[in-house]
Amino acid sequence: QVQLVESGGGLVQSGGSLRLSCAASGSTFTIDHMGWYRQGPGKQRELVAYIARAGTATYADSVKGRFTISRDNAKNTIYLQMNALKPEDTAVYYCNSRGLYNSWGQGTQVTVSA
């Protein structure tokens, strides 16, 4: 199994920045790609970005040019640098890993005030 622990959420003003981290443990050698999803109030969970083991990244249109996902394979950790945050980015952000197992973190709250 793979366990994921997120950190780095918080409250920030519109236009500000936050950096999320997700550390994987357990059978990390089985992980293919990792990513971030989010679920806003009254909304369905949606993909934010994901990154393959080789480093290829994919982003949702709503965050392109503002968010950057990166991966440190040696530390089994991914990061999400979020810049130019908007109130509509307010959500619980979940880390996800795919491969042999499909695993989820517990989520971290990001709140962007207007």
pLDDT at 76: 93
Q: Which of 38, 33, 46, 47 is nearest to 18 (CA)?
A: 38
pLDDT-derived band at 65 (thresholds 50, 70, 90) equals very high
Distance CA 14, CA 66 (A): 13
For the chain, give the percent of residues with pLDDT over 90.
96
What is the per-residue pLDDT for 54? 86
Nearest 5°: the CA angle 34, 18, 35 is 10
3-state secondary structure of 87: helix
Dihedral-angle region of residue 75 (phi above 0 means left; psi in -120 to 50 means alpha; beta otherwise): alpha
